[in-house]
Structure 1
């Protein structure tokens, strides 16, 4: 009798035979999800996106707008009035 257990439905790649190199290169396929690390990453990405949105609205509130130059880059330029 074999001492290996039968793969259960839902085991995915963990149940297949593979080499150590394949497991090292594709670590994410074999690691179990970690909710704490996922929550920290979600908070960090949300914080970065919020900071970028805050800085953009701050510049727009000061009278700057995003102008696209000829080479395709975006630059914040102060609004000018034709009446001045």
Structure 2
């Protein structure tokens, strides 16, 4: 995922709200065609999310598929 594109989209989301939500993370992952875990780890790598954010989401019981369904996001196409 291109660094500048990810940063731009992340900042676009942050302009409208104080912090990134798990739903925002799902939407961003879907836009780039990657898993939510990969997107979270990329944002952590770019210091846009605190390190360990993905681990905290998973430990807190975040259910990716359920969130994607609630947002109306279909499965990613096979590559």
TM normalised by structure 1 equals 0.24
Larger RCO, structures 1/2 (Cα 8 Å, 6+ apart)? 2
Could you say which structure has the higher strand fraction?
A: 1
Q: Which of structures 1 and 2 has the bigger CA Rg?
A: 1
Q: Which has the higher helix share?
A: 2
